[in-house]
């Protein structure tokens, strides 16, 4: 294991939500749940991306102590990270866009009804996952975005308030002082690696016919921003005592994104997907790349074909790698029987947490897997 991997392990081990931290590969406990198809489905189950043990605990407590539904437990779990600003990549006060504004995105995917509620580019409302649930419950739509989503949230009783903090404002000021480096602009002039713009397109099109007559411009398509940005979306899957399976996501998006960008956390099939007949999956990482492959939906389709979660997540991660070898991403999945697994690429290691009525009495368990590269 590299020095970075060792440090990651130590950080996980001594986190306030400490538990027996284990590597997935070869571990008998995780193998028991990732490979067995005959296990009785747990009565309460929570699976969460990253080292967000507090969110897992919050969702599990809502299930067991308040007799809550899977939908409400996902909202409670993701809402925990929104309030606590997990890694500053979830909730207010993080990932300012090019205008210095923090915007949020979230989704709730009900695997029983196959209904979703999602918001993208949500401004001035802190509880994005709560607004996503309101979209699901109180509208006939699936996704609301931008200022209109904020107006909807206000009608639903959510408080309008700033999402900026001293930290996020200082991040934006530093970025501006660094000539807007890094950024997401491509095939524009002036050179986006040396200037803040404003930008205009490179003349790569035939202006008469508006048909691209030139070969692709080498070096102008950025394959991945993995070395420039954090992508720690919270993705969470919950199974309640009725067998309902619900997936949820919440994120403040990519750092220094172009205003108006919607990430995978708000896109069904990308950030999350659930079908209570077969299971659910959530994804995290380089959202602009991963959403092109609908990875969560692809994994659940493989679960439908009775593939194990371990094999399904690995196959989808590697299918993205074939096109984008430099991307980073991870997928978590659970099938309808409660078997779960994860796969990842590009990160040194990927942690996740589990709380299940069938594992150590529901105590939050932390695992990490080493990723392909």
Marked catalytic residue, from 49, 89, 233, 313:
233
Domain of 140, CATH number, reads: 3.60.20.30
pLDDT in tens, the chain (373 residues): 444 444 444 443 333 333 333 444 434 444 444 544 445 678 899 999 999 999 999 999 999 999 999 999 999 999 999 999 999 999 999 999 999 999 999 999 999 999 999 999 999 999 999 999 999 999 999 999 999 999 999 999 999 999 999 999 999 999 999 999 999 999 999 999 999 989 999 876 544 444 443 444 443 334 444 444 456 799 999 999 999 999 999 999 999 999 999 999 999 999 999 999 999 999 999 999 999 999 999 999 999 999 999 999 999 999 999 999 999 999 999 999 999 999 999 999 999 999 999 888 899 999 989 999 9
Active site residue 233: yes
On whether the CB atoms of residues 125 and 159 are closer than 8 A, the answer is yes
The number of folded domains in the chain is 1
Count the neighbouring beta carbons within 10 Å of the beta carbon of residue 147. Answer: 11
Give pLDDT, residue 231.
Answer: 63
Max CA pair span of the chain = 69
Is 219 marked within a binding site? Answer: no
Classify residue 296: in a domain, yes or no.
yes
Residues 6 or more apart in contact with residue 254 via CB below 8 angstroms: 95, 184, 225, 229, 231, 261, 263, 287, 288
Tell whether residue 232 is among the known ligand binding residues.
no
- Annotated ligand binding at 286? The verdict is yes
Query: Which 3 state secondary structure label does DSSP give 163?
Result: coil
Annotation-wise, does 261 bind a ligand? yes
From residue 260, how far is each of 129, 150, 170, 171 by CA, in Å?
19, 14, 21, 19
Q: Is 89 annotated as a binding residue?
A: no
pLDDT for the residue numbered 39: 56
Three-state secondary-structure class, residue 237: strand
Residue 49 lies in a domain: yes
**Per the domain annotation, does 318 fall within a domain?**
yes
- Annotated binding residue 285: yes
112 located within any domain:
yes
Question: Does 212 fall in a domain?
Answer: no
- 276: domain range? 3-163+227-370
Is residue 221, in this structure, part of any structural domain at all? no
In a domain, 191, yes or no: no
pTM (2 decimals)?
A: 0.87
How far apart are the C-alpha atoms of 187 and 221, rounded to whole Å?
7
Considering the domain boundaries, does residue 180 fall inside one? no
For residue 234, the cross-strand partners are 250
The β-bridge relationship of strands 349-356 and 340-345 is unpaired
């Amino acid at each position: 294991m590299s020095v970075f991997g060792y440090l990651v392990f130590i950080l996980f081990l001594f986190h306030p939500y400490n538990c027996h931290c284990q590597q997935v590969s070869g571990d008998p406990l995780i193998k028991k749940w990732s490979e067995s198809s005959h296990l009785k489905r747990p009565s309460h189950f929570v699976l969460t991306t990253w080292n967000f043990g507090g969110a897992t605990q919050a969702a599990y407590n809502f299930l067991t102590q308040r007799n809550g539904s899977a939908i409400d437990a996902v909202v409670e779990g993701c809402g925990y990270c929104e309030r606590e600003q997990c890694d500053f990549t979830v909730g207010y006060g993080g990932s300012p866009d090019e205008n210095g504004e923090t915007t949020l995105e979230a989704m709730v995917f009900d695997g029983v009804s196959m209904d979703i509620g999602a918001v993208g580019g949500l401004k001035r409302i802190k509880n994005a996952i709560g607004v996503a649930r309101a979209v699901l419950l109180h509208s006939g739509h699936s996704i609301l975005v931008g200022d209109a989503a904020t107006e909807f949230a206000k009608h639903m009783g959510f408080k309008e308030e700033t999402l900026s903090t001293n930290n996020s404002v200082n991040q934006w000021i530093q970025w501006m002082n660094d000539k807007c480096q890094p950024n997401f602009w491509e095939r524009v002039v002036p050179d986006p690696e040396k200037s803040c713009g404003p930008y205009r397109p490179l003349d790569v099109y035939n202006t008469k016919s508006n048909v691209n007559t030139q070969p692709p411009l080498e070096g102008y398509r950025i394959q991945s921003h993995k070395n420039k940005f954090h992508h720690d979306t919270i993705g969470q899957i919950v199974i309640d005592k009725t067998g309902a399976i619900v997936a949820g996501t919440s994120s403040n998006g990519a750092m220094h994104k172009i205003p108006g960008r919607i990430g995978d956390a708000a896109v069904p099939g990308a950030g999350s997907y659930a079908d209570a007949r077969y299971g659910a999956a959530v994804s995290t990482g380089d959202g602009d790349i991963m959403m092109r492959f609908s990875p969560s939906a692809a994994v659940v389709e493989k679960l439908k074909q009775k593939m194990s979660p371990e094999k399904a997540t690995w196959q989808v991660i590697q299918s993205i790698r074939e096109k984008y070898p430099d991307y980073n991403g991870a997928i978590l999945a659970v099938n309808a029987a409660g078997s779960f697994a994860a796969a990842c690429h590009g990160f040194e290691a990927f942690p996740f947490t589990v709380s299940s009525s069938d594992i150590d009495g529901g105590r939050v368990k932390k695992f990490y897997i080493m990723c392909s590269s």
